[in-house]
Every structure is written in structure tokens, then in C-alpha cells.
Amino acid sequence: MRIAVLAGGVGGAKFVRGVRHAMPDADIRVVVNTGDDLWLTGVRVCPDLDSIMYALAGVNDTERGWGRAGESERVSAELAAYGVGWPWFTLGDLDLGTHLARTSLLRDGLTLTAATERLAARWPIGVTLLPMSDQPVETHVRVADGLVHFEEWWVRHRAAVPALGFEQLGVQSASPTPEVLTAIAEADAVLLAPSNPVVSIGTILGVPGMRDALATTPAPVVGVSPIIGGAALRGMAAECLAAIGVAVSADAVARHYGARSSGGLLDGWLVDTADAAAVDELIGDGIRAAARPLYLTTLDESAAIVRSALELGLPRR
Ligand code: GDP
Ligand code: CA
């Protein structure tokens, strides 16, 4: 079985671990948001690719929620002493090793896809990580004073500066990679992780050609709600949804993606049991919907969510 997953960083990583646990023999290809990428202190940082790689390799810092476990910050302290970089965006020493290796590969002429394959080859992660595009696309946030990089709005301002909108710089000249198009076209099922609908999944969908690829794949497309009982579990999906005028609810996000039968994306949508009341109306809108516990806590619970999503997409399996 071939499964393609669209995912952002930390939420995406928890979901993909569930996919791997539920379907250990499947060919799992993860299309990852690269809109958070940036050049910082001379190196290319790809936050979502690294969050997934570290989590699947089991070397992520589960307490902090980002970066490598057992991390030190000697290099960052030196950079700060020189006044180079963003003092509020600490890159750990082990993490910097990843960014240096990636930058070296990119400077040798590898695409981001090829560089990512080389980095991931070090770890037995059991899935293929595919950047959504090899062309740089960087999400910026429109605030009252102008545009700031997404990571500055997110990490420095903790999303407290009101976002007026999001812009994907570079997106006009970006395209999905051939690897991404193949993964979607040849999948038996396409799953949307419960990642941020605006700045993770939304960014991936914004790459010209991505929506067409999803519309034309013979595979069912099933999403898992990142919103439970009217709130985002972690992260700032609520602030992001507000900025684009979408209500913070499981069914509003489903309608934002839209039913595939009426020009949208979704064949199916899983909501949490807290949102069971939304199921009938979503079915009426042409989206196969079901309510299941959607907390990605243990591996077994995450795998159960994945199985439910697959059953919704492939009911005769
Ligand atoms: P980021 O790139 O690191 O911000 O992470 P993602 O975009 O992949 O995921 C962030 C989203 O994951 C947030 O909007 C959360 O609502 C969602 N999320 C986090 N934990 C869970 C969970 O246990 N269950 C569900 N359904 N969603 C979750
Ligand atoms: Ca992210």
C-alpha cells in the first residue's frame, strides 16, 4: 500500500509516526511544508523537514517540543556574542550540524529533495521525506508595519502581533517536485495530517499545481482535524485561521478545504468525538465524516487515528 501524507512540522511528525506504526509495510511518502524555511547565520534551516526527521529518528526533544534531545548551545552563544543571527531563535549545536550539512549539499548543487534524502539516509526513519518544492517559498506575515518572516512572527512575537494575512514569497515560480507529483498520483490513499491548515497544509496547497495533483489522483483524500472542540491543541492555528477569516472549528476547516465532489479537496474528514455533532452536516456537504478520539498521544492512539482515516477513504478494504 502506498500512502502520501501532507504535513507540517511538530503536529505532522506525531501523525506520521502514527502512520508508520499503523502501516509498517506501507510505502509512506510525506510531502512536507517548506514555507517556514529560511537562511540564518549562513545556513539553510528547514524547520518542518527537521521536526519530522528528528521525531521519526527518535532524536527529538520531546520536553521542549522542538529540536534535538541532549542539545547544547555553544555555537549559538558565540554567534550571539558577534551579534549575528536572531537571539530569540536559538539553533542548537546538533541542529546546526544538520543545517551545515544541508547547506553544504545545496552548495554542491543538490536539490532540496536530494539533500533531504541524503540527510534522512542517516536515520532509519522508514518513510520518504519530500519537500513540497525545490524552489524556495517563504511564508511572510502581513502585520501593521509590513511583512515579517513567519518564524519571526511565530517565535519572536508568539503570534501576538495581529496577522492581517499571509504571503508566500517566491510561490509564483515554484512547482511541486516530480517526486511529490508521483507520490500523490500513485498513492492508494492521501492523508492530510492535522497540521496547521493555514501555514502548513495551506502553504503546501498554495504551490501552483498542487491542488490539481490532489484533484486528479485516483486515491481518496482524507484529512484529520487539527481543531478539537473549537480550539487548536498546540500552536497558533486559531490566530492563523482568524487572519484568513475561517472559524476555529473542525467543520469550518473541513469546509475551507472543501468537498472534492464540489471542487474542493476532501473525500473524507475525521473530527474528534467532541465534534460529533458536525458529522451529519459534513456528510450532507458531500464529505464522508466520522468522529473518533483525535488526540495524538501514544503511538497506539495515533495509529488508531490513521486506521480510521484510511477506513474512511477506503471503506471496502
Ligand atoms: P508546526 O509546523 O510545528 O507548527 O506543526 P504542524 O503545522 O504540523 O501542526 C500544528 C497543528 O497540530 C496545530 O494546529 C494543532 O492543532 C495540531 N495538533 C497538535 N497536536 C494534536 C493532536 O494531538 N491531535 C490533533 N488532532 N491535532 C493536533
Ligand atoms: Ca511549521
- Spell out the per-residue pLDDT of the chain, length 317, in tens: 999 999 999 999 999 999 999 999 999 999 999 999 999 999 999 999 999 999 999 999 999 989 999 999 999 999 999 999 998 898 999 999 999 999 999 999 999 999 999 999 999 899 999 999 999 999 999 999 999 999 999 889 888 899 999 999 999 999 999 999 999 999 999 999 999 999 999 999 999 999 999 999 999 999 999 999 999 887 789 999 999 999 999 999 999 999 999 999 999 999 999 999 999 999 999 999 999 999 999 999 999 999 999 999 987 64
Question: Which H or E run contains 290?
Answer: strand 288-291
Beta-carbon neighbours within 5 Å of ion ligand 2: 8-9, 36, 48
Looking from the CA of residue 294, the nearest atom of ligand 1 is 26
What grid cell was written down for 87? 537571539
39 DSSP β-pair partners: 44
Domain boundaries, the chain: 2-60+110-134+175-228+250-316
The per-residue pLDDT for 159 is 84
Tell me phi and psi for residue 180, to 5 degrees. -65, -45
Non-local (6+) Cβ contacts of 251 within 8 A are 271, 275, 278, 281, 282
CA 255 to chain centroid: 19
Non-local (6+) Cβ contacts of 215 within 8 A are 260, 265
Q: Which of 5, 6, 10 to mutate to test the pocket of ligand 1 (most atoms within 8 A of CB)?
A: 10
What grid cell was written down for 172? 509564483
| Of 217, 194, 212, 196, the residue nearest 4 (C-alpha) | 217
Q: Is 273 in the pocket of ligand 1 (CB under 6 A)?
A: no
Of the chain, the end-to-end C-alpha distance in Å amounts to: 11
> Would the pTM of this model clear 0.75, i.e. be above it?
yes
- Is 1.10.1040.10 the CATH classification of the domain at 2-60+110-134+175-228+250-316? no
